[in-house]
Amino acid sequence: MNKLVKYNSCKVLILNNLFSDSIYFNILKNKRLLIITNKLIASLYLDKLKKLLYNATNNLEHIIIPNGEKYKNITTVNNIISILLKKNYDSDTIIISFGGGVISDISGFIASIYKRGIDVIHIPTTLLAQVDASIGNKTSINHKCGKNMIGTFYEPKLVIIGLNFLNTLSRKEIYSGLSEVIKYGIVMNSNFFFWVKKNINNLILLKSKSLYYCVTTCCKLKIDIINKNKIDNISRMLLNFGHTFGHAIEQYASYNNWSHGSAVAVGIIIATYVSLNLNIIRIKQAKLIRSVIIKAKLPIFGPKNISINDYINIIKNDKKSNINSINLVLPISIGKARLFYNIDNKVITKSILDSKQDLLSRL
């Protein structure tokens, strides 16, 4: 079951087991390669990946960075670029990003700025990176003023997804990936939403048929949006659903303890309350959203001590808002969402409060 999905000049290969298929590495023949990964992934898979890549070239080195979102910053970028320069990596080098979304975001960003752009290939190893972060052309790092504040648009040359990597992923990280999976269903495709709802336990248990269908569908849905984006910038914003409040949570937690997907799940819940308070979604549909988040074992409440003011203050710094107004992607029904502008602070405040009180459970 190997699948090839294409967008622009980028190919996305979806394989059940990356280590049993070396044929695709032909494009790396005689290239200078640099793998960027983290300590944890290196301990699990680096030797195996290097062995595979040696079939294509001996010119292969790696850089291991610390593990975690809090290292997705300019210091890490600067450290890696210093190594590249000191070791005379030229513009023919290919960077192989090997890890979750943190690694693909950092590696993509470096590839986009080093010597005005070198090639990057993503080998995503988390569910979240396979269904979302490694697909498309957004690269970013965090700044102390906000998440993903620095970044570029830069397409990878190739994305190679190996579902086998998910076998070592913690349950918490599987749930985190499911958050982005659910997001696609809510904003783009009701059939997929209901499929996910029905198959969520199979996905949590990594049942290969369900997993394969899920990853393939998410890649296709994201690629669809990216292709449309050439004409319509707004459609791409749909992918930010849940992210405004989600990013606020991640920033509030200083990128510790809260996975990206868990934060986005709470963001999805709060955004759904905003829809309810604006009367643009029916209670039954909002309840469906809440129930699928719970079924995926994702949180519906943010950090214990986060206040409404914490949310508002952080969001006002977010790139999607200016100081006086908050713009949000909001669900209208399952499978349909839209960007709404200038949402009243009072509505935002009430929605955060409703989510803290789990109002939907009583409706």
Ligand X SMILES: NC(=O)c1ccc[n+]([C@@H]2O[C@H](COP(=O)([O-])OP(=O)(O)OC[C@H]3O[C@@H](n4cnc5c(N)ncnc54)[C@H](O)[C@@H]3O)[C@@H](O)[C@H]2O)c1
Residue corresponding to tokens 């349909």: 336
Closest Cα to residue 134, out of 164, 178, 100, 180?
100
> Does 69 sit near ligand X (CB under 6 A)?
yes
Is residue 46 exposed (0-12), middle (13-18) or buried (19+ Cβ within 10 Å)? middle
Interface residue with ligand X among 76, 112, 126, 179 (CB under 6 A) is: 126
Among the listed ranges 110-118, 127-135, 206-214, 229-237, the one in contact with ligand X (CB under 6 A) is 127-135
Binding region for ligand X (CB under 6 A) out of 257-265, 271-279, 290-298, 339-347: 257-265
Stretch that binds ligand X, among 74-82, 124-132, 276-284, 353-361 (CB under 6 A): 124-132
In sequence order, what are the residues at sequence separation of 6 or more whose Cβ sits closer than 8 angstroms to the Cβ of residue 270? 245, 302, 311, 351, 352, 355
**Packing angle of the helix pair 171-188, 260-277 (nearest 10 deg):** 30
Nearer to ligand X, 73 or 333 (CB): 73
In the complex, minimum distance from the CB of residue 274 to ligand X, in angstroms, rounded to a whole number: 21
Answer for which of 15, 56, 107, 138 binds ligand X (CB under 6 A) is 138
> Least separation, in Å, of the C-beta of 132 and ligand X?
4
Candidates 95, 129, 286, 300: give the one binding ligand X (CB under 6 A).
129
- The side-by-side arrangement of strands in the sheet containing 33-38 is 3-7, 10-15, 158-162, 119-124, 94-99, 33-38, 60-65
Minimum distance from residue 187 beta carbon to ligand X (Å): 14
Identity of the residue, 32 or 222, whose beta carbon is nearer to ligand X in the bound complex: 222
Shorter beta-carbon distance to ligand X: residue 175 or 277? 175
- Residue placing its CB nearer to ligand X in the complex, 171 or 198: 171
Q: List the one residue from 32, 72, 220, 290 that touches ligand X (CB under 6 A).
A: 72
Bridge partners of 339, per DSSP, are 329
Question: Rounded to the nearest whole angstrom, what is the least distance from the CB of residue 212 to ligand X in the complex?
Answer: 17
Between residues 12 and 286, which has the closer beta carbon with respect to ligand X?
12
For 200-242, the DSSP string reads HHHHHTT-HHHHHHHHHHHHHHHHHHHHHHTT-HHHHHGGGTT
Contacting ligand X within 321-340 (CB under 6 A): none
Q: Name the minimum Å distance from CB 27 to ligand X.
A: 23
CA distance 5 to 318: 32
C-alpha closest to that of 295 among 173, 203, 359 = 203
Smallest separation (angstroms) from ligand X to the CB of 184:
11
By the rule CB under 6 A, 275 interacts with ligand X? no
Is residue 60 close enough to count as binding ligand X by CB under 6 A?
A: no
148-155 contact pairs (CB < 8 A, 24+): 148/105, 148/247, 148/319, 149/319, 150/74, 150/109, 151/105, 151/109, 152/108, 152/109, 152/112, 152/113, 153/112, 154/108, 154/109, 154/111, 154/112, 154/117, 154/120, 155/8, 155/9, 155/10
The reply to whether 105 sits near ligand X by the rule CB under 6 A is yes
Residue with CB nearest ligand X?
101
| Range 154-193, binding ligand X (CB under 6 A) | 165, 168-169, 173, 176
Contact region with ligand X (CB under 6 A), list: 55-63, 95-103, 201-209, 301-309: 95-103
Tokens 């040359």, residue?
157
How far is 277 from 216, CA to CA, in rounded Å?
A: 35
Tokens of 241: 């659903």
Measured from the CB atom, is 38 or 285 closer to ligand X? 38
Query: What residues between 38 and 57 interact with ligand X by CB under 6 A?
Result: 38, 40-41, 44
> Is residue 128 classed as helix, strand or coil in its secondary structure?
helix
Q: Where along the sequence are the contacts to ligand X (CB under 6 A)?
A: 38, 40-41, 44, 67, 69, 72, 99-103, 105, 125-126, 128-129, 132-133, 136, 138, 148, 165, 168-169, 173, 176, 259-261
